[in-house]
Amino acid sequence: MDNFSLQNWRIRVLHEDSFREGMGELNVYGYQTQHFDICPGAQNLYKRILAGDFTDGVPSVPEQDKLVIMAKLHDKLFGMEKIALQSRDGVSQEFADEAAKAARGIMAMAKSIDLEDEHGYIQNHVDIIKSKVMEGAIILPELDEDKKERMAALIKQRDALIKKHSDAGEMFSDKVYDLDSEIQKIAKSESLNEIELEIPGDEKAPAGDKVLNKKLTKNDKIIAAYKEIEQEIKDSIQKIKTGNELEKKVAMDFLKSNQDTIKAYNNLKKV
């Protein structure tokens, strides 16, 4: 058995679960998909990728990392499609925009590894979600009980901490932003739109104070969003400086895809 055949044989052994007939989900280099059952095209393509059909043997580690990210973005898009199809009242435009954003991320990475044409099925899933857009629709699928309890506890803890800082006339601590981030992660894990977290007591505030509180809430979100990817930003900058060509490309793609968050945070620091 030559080296190329041996490598492909190893791939098939390592990922044998991915090649079982009738399975809807795949193990993509350690990541277990959740919603690939909705798209036979994606199943077939990623089985071929895992089999080494598009590479001379085992893909490099950076390529594997890209494929894992792409699999996760597929899950996000497919999960949102399931929600849209099950919703009797349709989905919001914001929901559809978020799905389209996930699709753009998939296609950008697919292009970087010369598999853009093979991912032509992606647009169809975006179109299905867009067809379910209805004015005024709000998507709020049920969380499982553990996540609901966890989210409720985090929101309660966040509100109490904000009240404590407000009563003392202090600026919000990093703990507030960390709690915001945890709450939003739970929401994202269930394909929820970002939750609007209000300042406690806002409903009793005078009109002028409500405007200020709304601005503070928006700024908190910008900071929380930046903090969530801050380490990845630093790592990407370092890879651009010292990495190989593929690492530099992946790092640049990441910074470009998050440029709105980075720009908003940098503008906030100037205020």
pLDDT tens-digit profile of 193-213?
455 555 444 444 444 444 444
Number of domains into which the chain is organized? 2
Across the range 178-206, mean pLDDT stands at 60
Tens of pLDDT, residues 1-35? 333 333 443 444 344 444 343 457 889 988 899 89
**If pLDDT is split at 50, 70 and 90, which confidence band does 148 have?**
low
Do 61 and 81 touch, CB atoms closer than 8 A? no
Give CA–CA dist 103/70, Å, rounded: 9
Same domain, 111 and 154: no
At which of 102, 130, 158 does a domain end?
Answer: 130
pLDDT, residue 191, reads 54
**Which token pair is 122?**
């992606």
Same domain, 240 and 186: yes
Give CA–CA dist 110/157, Å, rounded: 41
Same domain, 123 and 56: yes
Same domain, 79 and 185: no
Is 116 among the domain residues? Answer: yes
Give CA–CA dist 12/20, Å, rounded: 11
Long-range CB contact pairs, 83-87, < 8 A, 24+? 83/139, 83/141, 83/191, 84/128, 84/129, 84/132, 84/139, 85/128, 85/132, 87/132, 87/137, 87/139
Same domain, 115 and 48: yes
Give CA–CA dist 248/32, Å, rounded: 27
